[in-house]
Amino acid sequence: MGLDFAGKEWATYIPIATSLGLGIYVVWQAMRPKIGLVNPDIEKDQDKVVNSMDVEDIGDKIAFCRCWRSKKFPLCDGSHVAHNKKTGDNVGPLCLKRKNSA
């Protein structure tokens, strides 16, 4: 005994199919990774992460993290190497160097 979709009987299955489809979509949305999320865990209790530093405190050179994985954030600790290998990304630090004054 199979399902008979003759006449208007098929219409009774539309709400069930719609509910099932919506349920699958909601679960899929909840489980998929957050696309576009750059900062995985640094100062997540803040509305916006802002760091500042006096130029005089920089010294001759400094490297700032741009991958958001550094344990020394906002300074680079080389975490981008593992991030790039894992994701295929190509991010690296922002390096500043003082010119020799001669």
Any idea which residues carry the catalytic annotation? 48
* Euclidean distance between CA atoms 17 and 66, whole angstroms: 46
Number of H helices, E strands in the chain: 2, 2
Contact 78, 52 (CB under 8 A): no
The dihedrals phi and psi of 28, each to the nearest 5 degrees, come to -60, -45
